[in-house]
Amino acid sequence: MLPTLRQRISPIKMIKKERRLIIAGNWKMNKTVAEALALVNGLKIEVGKVKELDIVVCPPFTALSEVSKAILDSNIRLGAQNMSENSFGAFTGEIAAGMLRELSVRHVILGHSERRQYQKESDELISKKALAAHATSLKPIVCVGETLAEREGGLTETVIETQVRGSLAGLSKEQMVETVVAYEPVWAIGTGKTATAAQAQEVHAFIRAILVSIFDDTVARRVRIQYGGSVKASNATELMALPDVDGALVGGAALDVRSFSDIIKNSIPN
């Protein structure tokens, strides 16, 4: 049984410091190789030596190789935006986890709402990809989030629970602690509308309660849950201070050195 709403608000308030913040930039289908290098070289100057939190950039596949080399002497880590659930073979246009690892990619975004919407990715497929990622030592960032219609229809918790259980199906406890969950309300992505602190905390705590129910309290306490949806420098501090928010997945504001660096600087724990 999941806890009641009242129990879910900040169920494990004091454990914030157990989890290191992870701020990831999802560049989506933006940046040529030259533009990607300009962006990452600017980030290296601004935040390349930040040690207090994890910084991840997720360029398009075409820029991974060059960005991988460029960040070697920094604390910035590399992520990809998607991968195949298969490890090799006749899957035209697909990229396997092993190919990403070869480029020193450490994280991979799975089940972003744009892929759920445009490529019709299901929870079942996302869980296969998550298992394939772990089999190759890639750490998945698994995205979940409700649409505006679902929120307004009172379906937020049902949708989130279905996505969390389905997308993480089959993961072992060891794999789960190496998985990041990104809560991205679809109505907040690229719209300039951010979830309020109370809305974000409520869903994050709910996700953690689901993780307790699927795995156990120890696993749930260790899993990092990012918030995503119009994060910017001006709202990052408040969001990152929430007890169950352990980082951000940033879209639009990750495309510019100043705005992404400011998000990172404003998120550094005191």
Q: Which stretch binds ligand PEP (CB under 6 A): 12-20, 183-191, 211-219, 259-267?
A: 183-191
What distance in Å separates the CA atoms of residue 205 and residue 249, rounded to the nearest whole number?
17
Position 239 contacts ligand PEP (CB under 6 A): no
Q: In 3D, which of 34, 30, 26 has the Cα closest to residue 70?
A: 34
Position 79 contacts ligand PEP (CB under 6 A): no
Pairing of β 107-110 and β 76-80: parallel
Give the residue closest to ligand PEP by C-beta: 251
**With the CA atoms of 46, 263, 267 and 138 taken in that order, what torsion angle do they form, in degrees rounded to the nearest 10?**
-80
Position 11 contacts ligand PEP (CB under 6 A): no
Position 190 contacts ligand PEP (CB under 6 A): yes
Position 70 contacts ligand PEP (CB under 6 A): no
Stretch 108-167 residues interacting with ligand PEP (CB under 6 A): none
CB neighbours of residue 4 within 10 Å:
9
CA 213 to chain centre: 21
Q: Which of 252, 261, 263, 264 binds ligand PEP (CB under 6 A)?
A: 252
Position 184 contacts ligand PEP (CB under 6 A): yes
What distance in Å separates the CA atoms of residue 52 and residue 267, rounded to the nearest whole number?
9
Catalytic residue among 112, 121, 150, 202: 112
What distance in Å separates the CA atoms of residue 237 and residue 145, rounded to the nearest whole number?
22
**Considering beta carbons, is residue 26 or 68 the nearer one to ligand PEP?**
26
Whole-number minimum distance, CB 201 to ligand PEP, in Å?
Answer: 17
What distance in Å separates the CA atoms of residue 130 and residue 196, rounded to the nearest whole number?
29
**Considering beta carbons, is residue 121 or 184 the nearer one to ligand PEP?**
184
Contact residues for 216 (Cβ-Cβ < 8 A; gap 6+): 173
What distance in Å separates the CA atoms of residue 38 and residue 116, rounded to the nearest whole number?
30
Is 184 noted as a catalytic residue in this protein? yes
Position 247 contacts ligand PEP (CB under 6 A): no
Over the window 22 to 41, marking each residue x when it contacts ligand PEP by CB under 6 A and - when it does not, the resulting string is ----x---------------
Token digits for 212? Answer: 């307790």
**Considering beta carbons, is residue 26 or 267 the nearer one to ligand PEP?**
26
What distance in Å separates the CA atoms of residue 66 and residue 167, rounded to the nearest whole number?
31
Which residues of this protein are in contact with ligand PEP, per CB under 6 A?
26, 184, 189-190, 228-231, 249-253
Enumerate the active-site residues: 112, 184
